[in-house]
Structure 1
Amino acid sequence: MAAAARSLNSFAFGVRHVSKRLVASYVIDWILILATFAVGGGLSKVHGNKHDFSLQDPNISFPYHDDTVTVPVLIVIAIVAPAIITAAISLLFVPGPTADRKTPRALIWRRKLWEWNAAWMGLGVALSGAFVITEGLKDLAGKPRPFLLAVCDPDLSPESIRRHQVGGFGSSLDSAVPIVVDWHICRQTDQGKLRNAFASWPSGHSSFVWAGMLYLCFFICAKFAVQIPFLLPGSDSQRYISTFDEETDGDAKPSKNSQSTSSSRIHPPRNQAAAPPIYLLIIAFVPIATAMFVSISRWYDYRHHGFDIISGSILGIFTAWLGFRWYHLPIQGGAGWAWGARSRARAFWLGVGRPGYVGDEGWEAARSGTQLEDMETGRFVTGPGMADQRQSTDMAASDRV
């Protein structure tokens, strides 16, 4: 009971000393992410351009087909599932085995909550970026979908063709040369359905699902070290490859040559890293397989041309990478952590001449004046203060008593 009370007091102490300026900067970041979603939603309702088309084009003559992956299902796959999984990982597996067992519970929960916040902010950047860019490009391009003619229901009378013809040298449907007409030839009365028939490029399902699923894949790989084994840069180990390194029998005496090579234990390159378990690779691949299935479904549903799906996938891959790297260390060598918070004086603006958004003033309020302690090493630190990683000296000491 007393320990719980001390943890609560420690957590409250930390919250009181966090800079309000810093908190406000991250609140504004969240507002901008949500506002980007809102802009994308607005663009999805805009009646944009409608590209002219040929009545004899076989690429837009496919039948209308219902979605295999509907929009509600897409939202569950691309938003809800990554949000739940990243939150669960942040709350259940952070801070991990590197944290000191004597670390106050309040400090551990601050790290958990920060990792959760960073996970969702990165996901928000990935999804909102893909959404707004995709919808904006759809409005500008106005590219016909493969089922355009089925939805358009064009008036094929000679008078109507002559009235709406904008290009081509054909004079009738029997002509060997194409007849290019504008969208006014369509008899479709549902304007929303007609607008959607001119929204083929890029594929929104592809961009959105790749943004969410690839971000989730990156997140899983980072947290559980699912990566191709690599040699740490700057290692002082001797660079050689031997048949038998440290595997010799313990009673065997080293040769004079080996004794003179080095006085310290040698770790050959092949023993500096190892491949992760295959089941982790399979888990990390599940989001990729899901994104591939959703993307391919747009092809056999006659919703998009191949180029549209490829373009949307590339867009989603880019925003997923951007969202992940904006808030997380690289997967290789980053130990699965998110970047810490910005410093107090650099919460909104960096200015010319400063190398980054972390400074010696830390994250605490200007009047706190407390010394900070690293969560994992237990050493006092100066420099970038991270509310998720640090604890004031006096509160940490009281928790350890």
Structure 2
Amino acid sequence: MSSRRLGISSMMGGNFSSTNIPLLDKENEEQFRMREIQLGSHTVRSHGYTVAKTHRHDWLILLLLVLIEIILYIIHPFYRFVGKDMMTDLRYPLKSNTVPVWAVPMYAILLPMVIFLVVYIRRRDVYDLHHAILGLLFSVLVTAVITDSIKNAVGRPRPDFFWRCFPDGKDVYDKWGNVICHGDKNVIKEGHKSFPSGHTSWSFAGLGFLSLYLSGKIKAFDSTGHVAKLCLVFLPLLFASLVGISRVDDYWHHWQDVFAGGLLGLIVATFCYLQFFPPPYHHEGWGPYAYFRMLEETSATTHSNNAQHSCHAQPSDAQGCIGLSVARDEHSSTMDEMESGRR
């Protein structure tokens, strides 16, 4: 990260301070914009295929996660022992969902993507758009796989399990005291998937990622004390929390299920976000790592070409040109070693 700061600092002409001055403050914002214009816009049309090709293995893993999630949804969960004395906490009424299942991908995936597109239209940064979408999908799908894996392994009955198992209200048990359900098989199967809450984990995975993204873009932690920025950051988290509360109100989950689901989704969202973006409190937290790497590489190439052109134009300065050539060879050797995995 220190090399990245030095590269950006030299590109800014020395106006950048790595201690407490944001990258885009009032003093160097205009100069940075001019540098971006000189480098040219990296849009979906110009660099989209290249960026996607670089992360082709990540997209393949996403498809694998989708396949695993489908399998986890199809297989049966563990049908744990449910005795008559346990039915006291499982007799809540069977209600419909306040937040339907189809609505979860709408606000947890599509809504953040719309915001990513708005940011892209303003900045024309394909790295930010691609990595935000990729990170969001990883956040949601990894959370979904973990959630459903735990659901199937635990098999905890939902609070409304009694009416799922005995829709006519007549409970029947075997000689060991375990339930003998005579309700709809799919309804009973869903009744054994209480822990953790899928609605809640998906909500915090998608909206938690969005909250981190927004906090970086608006520089919520830039030490200026604008508390109003936090309202925008907390808004997605508030909505996700209300979704979790609705799961308890609908008697589809116990409060422990909701708490565990929210914690799971938020942790996974944080890990996936930090894979592509600096922490929101970082001075470079407004952009993805790949964007700053691109600026460094382009700046280094530009300086090298300019220096080489200057050497050809002024052959009398042979000693300086030799030193520049050696430095360029060392830089190329270092890059080759990094790419080959020796460093």
Do they superpose with TM above 0.5? yes
From 200, 203, 206, the counterpart of 1:209 = 203
Q: In structure 1, list runs of 5 or more residues that go unmatched.
A: 1-5, 95-108, 167-179, 230-273, 344-357, 364-369, 386-401
Deviation at 1:342, TM superposition (A): 12
Deviation at 1:73, TM superposition (A): 1.2
Deviation at 1:62, TM superposition (A): 0.5
1:340 aligns with 2:287: no
Higher relative contact order (CA 8 A, sep 6+): 1
From 301, 305, 312, the counterpart of 1:372 = 301
1:42 aligns with 2:37: no
Aligned positions, number:
271
From 116, 133, 140, the counterpart of 1:86 = 116
Distance 2:160 2:219 in 1: 44
Deviation at 1:124, TM superposition (A): 1.2
Deviation at 1:157, TM superposition (A): 7.9
1:64 aligns with 2:94: yes
Greater Rg by CA: 1
Deviations 1:252-275 (CA, angstroms, capped at 9, x unpaired): xxxxxxxxxxxxxxxxxxxxxx11
Structure 2 partner of 1:388: none
1:120-135 correspondence runs (5 A): 120-135=133-148
- One-letter code aligned to 2:140: L
Structure 2 partner of 1:222: 216
Alpha carbons of structure 1 residues 379 and 126: separation in structure 2 relative to 1, 3 Å: farther
1:181 aligns with 2:178: yes
Deviation at 1:30, TM superposition (A): 1.2
Hey, which of these two has a bigger chunk of helix by percent?
Answer: 2
1:181-200 correspondence runs (5 A): 181-182=178-179, 185-188=180-183, 190-200=184-194
Alpha carbons of structure 1 residues 192 and 225: separation in structure 2 relative to 1, 3 Å: same
Contact 2:91–2:160 under 8 Å retained in 1: yes
Contact 1:155–1:187 under 8 Å retained in 2: no
Contact 1:212–1:320 under 8 Å retained in 2: yes
Structure 1 partner of 2:30: none
Deviations 1:233-263 (CA, angstroms, capped at 9, x unpaired): xxxxxxxxxxxxxxxxxxxxxxxxxxxxxxx
Contact 1:127–1:212 under 8 Å retained in 2: yes
Contact 1:49–1:139 under 8 Å retained in 2: yes
From 249, 253, 276, the counterpart of 2:226 = 276
Structure 2 partner of 1:317: 266
Structure 2 partner of 1:351: none
- One-letter code aligned to 1:181: N
Structure 2 partner of 1:117: 130
Structure 1 partner of 2:5: none
Deviations 1:68-102 (CA, angstroms, capped at 9, x unpaired): 0001111111111111112222331x3xxxxxxxx
Distance 1:127 1:373 in 2: 40
Alpha carbons of structure 1 residues 300 and 373: separation in structure 2 relative to 1, 3 Å: farther
- One-letter code aligned to 1:309: V
Contact 2:164–2:187 under 8 Å retained in 1: yes
- One-letter code aligned to 2:143: A
Distance 2:39 2:278 in 1: 29
Alpha carbons of structure 1 residues 11 and 303: separation in structure 2 relative to 1, 3 Å: closer
Distance 1:31 1:10 in 2: 24
User: TM-score, normalised to structure 1's length?
Assistant: 0.60
Partner SS state of residue 340, structure 1: helix
Alpha carbons of structure 1 residues 49 and 219: separation in structure 2 relative to 1, 3 Å: same
- One-letter code aligned to 1:325: L
Partner SS state of residue 133, structure 2: helix
Q: In structure 2, list runs of 5 or more residues that go unmatched.
A: 1-37, 309-327, 336-343
Aligned residues with identical type, % of pairs: 21
Alpha carbons of structure 1 residues 341 and 27: separation in structure 2 relative to 1, 3 Å: farther
Alpha carbons of structure 1 residues 141 and 379: separation in structure 2 relative to 1, 3 Å: farther
Contact 1:40–1:133 under 8 Å retained in 2: no
Deviation at 1:207, TM superposition (A): 0.4
Deviation at 1:322, TM superposition (A): 0.9
Contact 1:154–1:186 under 8 Å retained in 2: no
Structure 1 partner of 2:279: 330
Alpha carbons of structure 1 residues 151 and 9: separation in structure 2 relative to 1, 3 Å: closer
Structure 2 partner of 1:295: 244
Deviation at 1:217, TM superposition (A): 0.5
